Amino acid sequence: MSTGPVLALLGRLDQPGVELLTTARRVAQGLGARLEAVWLGPLADDDVTGLGAYGTERVHHLATGRGSSTELAGAILSLPERPTAVLVTTSYPARELAARLGVRLGGGVLVDAAQVEVVGGRIEAERTSFAATWGSRCAVLAEPAIVTVKPHATSPEPAAAPSSPEVVPLAAGASDPRVRVVERTERVATGRPDLASAGVVVAGGRGTEGDFSLLAELADELGGALGATRVATDEGWVGHELQVGQTGVTVNPVLYIGAGVSGAVHHVGGMRAAQHVVAINTDPDAPLVQIADYAVIGDLFEVVRAMIDRLRELR
Ligand X SMILES: Cc1cc2nc3c(=O)[nH]c(=O)nc-3n(C[C@H](O)[C@H](O)[C@H](O)COP(=O)(O)OP(=O)(O)OC[C@H]3O[C@@H](n4cnc5c(N)ncnc54)[C@H](O)[C@@H]3O)c2cc1C
Q: Provide the binding-site residues for ligand X, judged by CB under 6 A.
A: 205-207, 229-232, 243-248, 260-262, 264, 266-267, 270, 280-283, 286, 299-300
Provide the minimum distance between the beta carbon of 51 and ligand X in the complex, in angstroms, as a whole number: 36
Residue 300 and residue 260 in contact, taking contact as beta carbons nearer than 8 Å? yes
Q: What are phi and psi of 34, to 5 degrees?
A: -85, 150
Taking the least distance from each CB to ligand X, the nearer of 51 and 238 is 238
Judged by beta carbon, residue 72 or residue 279, the one nearer ligand X is 279
Nearer to ligand X, 163 or 246 (CB): 246
Please state the closest distance from residue 283 (CB atom) to ligand X, in A.
4
Q: Which is nearer to ligand X, 66 or 266 (CB)?
A: 266
Q: What is the DSSP letter of 188?
A: P
Q: Which of 200, 296, 211 is nearest to 252 (CA)?
A: 200
- Please state the closest distance from residue 285 (CB atom) to ligand X, in A: 9
Q: How far is the CB of 200 from ligand X (least distance, A)?
A: 18
What is the spatial distance between Cα 310 and Cα 230, in angstroms, rounded to a whole number? 30
CB of 88 to ligand X, least distance (A): 25
Q: How far apart are CA 43 and CA 157, in angstroms?
A: 21
Neighbours of 81 (CB within 10 A): 14
Query: Are the C-beta atoms of 61 and 168 separated by less than 8 Å?
Result: yes
Q: Are 54 and 38 in contact (CB under 8 A)?
A: no
Answer for the pair 147, 125: CB distance below 8 angstroms, yes or no.
yes
Q: What is the distance between the terminal CA atoms of the chain, rounded to a whole angstrom?
A: 50
Closest listed residue to residue 154, CA positions, set 23, 11, 13: 23
| Alpha-helix residue ranges (DSSP H) falling in 36-187 | 45-53, 69-77, 92-105
Is the CB of 95 or the CB of 266 nearer to ligand X? 266
**CB of 229 vs ligand X, minimal distance in Å:** 3
If the CB atoms of residues 170 and 257 are measured against ligand X, the closer one turns out to be 257
